[in-house]
Structures are given as structure tokens and as C-alpha cells.
Amino acid sequence: METYLVGGAVRDELLGLAPGDRDWVVVGATPQQMLDAGFKPVGRDFPVFLHPDTGEEHALARTERKSGRGHRGFVVDADPSVTLEDDLQRRDFTINAIARDAHGDLVDPCGGVDDLRQRVLRHVGPAFAEDPLRVLRAGRFMARFAPLGFTVAPETMLLMRRMAASGELGTLVPERVWQELRKALAAAQPSAFLATLHACGALAAILPEVDALYGVPQRAEYHPEVDTGIHQQLVSDMAAKLAPGDDLVGFAALTHDLGKALTPPHLLPRHIGHENAGLKPLATLCERLRVPLEHRRLAESVCREHLNVHRLAELRDATVLELLERCDALRRPERVARIAIACEADKRGHLGSEDADYPQGPELRRLHAAALAVNARDLAGHEGLSGPQVGEALRKARIAAIGAARTLRARPAGPG
């Protein structure tokens, strides 16, 4: 029985990245031998065990044979005769098919080390086409590794185009699609996920509402990039820069402009009312992928309100309170900071505006704090009020607090 460190742990170590979870492959063992050695079984589809001391995953070396449609349609063989090379050959990309033995020596039958040096994402072999989830994984790896200079090998891109055209992406269960999307949005360069999947035709299969943005023109004086799909890529990258690892902000930024794909051709390149038009495709997307409720609610707020936040200085005090109430910001105060960041990502997600100031963000947070500081206990002189009267008094007090906060900010500083 021999044990090898495999996959992402080896890859990231060779790239000089911070190590994540470590996965191991065990060669020459049976499930019973693993149990006898104290390992705990956790694998449902194939033999995976947790080490009794470290808790790290140890999987028996295995091969897979396609038996049906989708990413679960496989017959797994984890016989003790399966070699390490057999196991590595079934993996998705060459950079994930590298192992390190107990002596520290690398086992690299697929040329992954060379592809790491060349910064190339390349599929291991023809079996790549048997699992449609691997197309999404390619996009997700690009979202993580594009900042390091990685590109997709031409032959891999060609294969992914064929896979997208085959319709197999339609067999993916919503939870797996959401999992890959969520990881991509939390990566350093989500635009690489979008661009990779758009280029191979997969984005139209899994996120048709986002794919529809490509080729839709915008007014060049406001959007030098013109193409709404390119604008979306810039916004997603800016969100990742402003809120690293926050997939809540990432999802809201991704879906804020979906309504622009629905603009009637005779109105282009203007997009009047796109913020409200975007709510319907957003709901369709969320229902199809079973997006968590908190992601959906934040995305709805940003989609509906981003133009209002951009022109925050023009809004009346009462209108500011109404905006906060529509976002449920008085009950969910943590939501405001993320709304502000997503709106800032939109404003700075234009060519030439990457370093632009966005005072609306801190101002929204400041006015929200002023409104939030007022509660029913502070309504001195309103004894005897009940029911709707209390609510109306509270509303007026919050509007007054917003106005006072604005007046305080506008007041010039005194001498000395």
C-alpha cells in the first residue's frame, strides 16, 4: 500500500501559492484494509476515507468508465490493481494530474509540470469530454489562474466547444452549477470564467441571461467599452477587487444589468428602465440554479437600485429612506455595505474609470447609519401614539435624521 499527495495541493505548491486542503491517493489497498487501519469511510460514489489522525481525505486509486449522461454517469473501479498512473490519467487537467511520493519526488505522466511552467490549462485526454462539469471547472480555474498568466490550450477550447454544442451541459444539476459559479465569483478574476465559457458556448447553456449581454451596445460616452458583456466582465473583476472572496457581492455585481439584454432594438444604445426590467431574468436565473435567498435578495436590491445609488446626492431625504426600506436595510443593516460595494463596482467597471472616486458608497452608509440610529424609544413627546401613528412618527424622525446628516456634512468647517 503506497500513498501519494495529489491534485491541487501539489499544483499550488509548484506555483508558489498558499497550500489548501491536501488530498491523497492510496494505491494497492482495499476498502477493508483502510478500515482495519482506522480510516473512516465518507465516499458515497467511490471509496474515500478520512485519516484517523489528520482528517485528510484518502481516496483509493480508481478508474472511471462512462455509463450514462451527465457528470454522475460513471462506473468506478477501485481495484487494488489500479496504478497511480491509471488514476492520474482519469483527471481533468494536466496541472491537476501531478503526484508527489513519500520521498518528495514528483510523478507526472501527463506533462503537468511543463504546462505549469508554460501557464497552460490543458485537458488530460479524450475522457475529459465524458464529464460536462469539467467545462465549468475550466472556467473556474481560469478565474483563479488568469492573473498568473494562464490561458486555455487551443485543443482544450475546441473540445469544450464540442461539449457545449452536444447539449450535455443541460444534464448538470443546479447545485453543481451554482457551486462552480460561486467559486468563480470568489476568485481573483471572474471575468476569465465568463470569457472562457462565452468563447466555447457554455455560458449560453448555464447562464443565458448573462450570455445575452454580449453584443448589446451601450452609449460610448458613458461606456467606452460599448459591449455590455465586456462591461459586465469589468464590473465582476472590480467587485472581486473591492470585496475579495465575497461571492454575495460578486453575484449582485454579475446580475445588476440583466435588463439591458431586453432593451428593444429601436431604443439602443440607451437602456431606459433596465434596472426594473432586470428583475424578471434575475428571478428566472435564481430559480433555475436554486440560488440561496440572501444572494437573491442582495442581487435584487442592486439590480433595482444601482442607478438610484449612483445619483444619491439628487434624491430627497424621504426618497433615500424609501430606498433603504426597499432594500430591507433597517432590518438587515449588514446588507448596505455590500450594496454600496456592488454599485461602486458598476461605476468603476468602465474602461478608463477603474480608479474613479465613488463618494456615493460612504455617503449611503452614513445616511443609513443616521436612519438606523432612530428607533421608537427615541420618539420623545409622542406619548399616546399607537399602531400606524408610531410608524409614521418613526418614519418622519428617520427622514429628519437623514436630512440632519446631510446638513452636517455640507456645513463648512469653522476656523482653527
Q: Over the stretch 184-203, which tens digit does the pLDDT of each residue have? A: 999 999 999 999 999 999 99
> Is 328 in a helix, a strand, or coil?
coil
Q: How confident is residue 69, by pLDDT bands cut at 50, 70 and 90?
A: low
For residue 40, is it within any domain? yes
Q: Tell me, what's the pLDDT at 19?
A: 78
Of 345 and 381, the one with more pLDDT: 345
For residue 62, is it within any domain? yes
CATH number of 11's domain: 3.30.460.10
Beta 57-60 vs 23-27: how paired, if at all?
parallel
Q: What's the Cα-to-Cα distance from 29 to each of 36, 60, 86, rounded to whole Å?
A: 11, 7, 15
For residue 209, is it within any domain? no
For residue 346, is it within any domain? no
Q: How confident is residue 210, by pLDDT bands cut at 50, 70 and 90?
A: very high
For residue 41, is it within any domain? yes
Whole-number Å distance between alpha carbons of 297 and 286 = 10
pLDDT digits (tens, 9 = 90+) for 98-116: 999 999 999 999 999 999 9
For residue 382, is it within any domain? no
Q: Tell me, what's the pLDDT at 415?
A: 43
Q: How confident is residue 79, by pLDDT bands cut at 50, 70 and 90?
A: confident
For residue 78, is it within any domain? yes
Q: How confident is residue 43, by pLDDT bands cut at 50, 70 and 90?
A: confident
Q: Tell me, what's the pLDDT at 413?
A: 47
Domain count, the chain: 1
Q: Which residue has the cell 461539449?
A: 163
Of 383 and 361, the one with more pLDDT: 361
- The pLDDT of residue 64 is above 90: no
120-132 average pLDDT score:
94
Domain that holds residue 61: 1-111
For residue 30, is it within any domain? yes
Q: Is 352 exposed, middle or buried (0-12, 13-18, 19+ CB in 10 A)?
A: exposed
Least Cα distance to 256 among 346, 349, 358 occurs for 346
Listed in sequence order, the residues at least 6 apart from 373 whose beta carbon sits closer than 8 Å to its beta carbon are 401
Question: In the numeric block, which cell numbers belong to residue 346?
Answer: 458598476
Contact between 379 and 345 under an 8 Å Cβ cutoff? The reply is no
- The pLDDT of residue 97 is above 60: yes
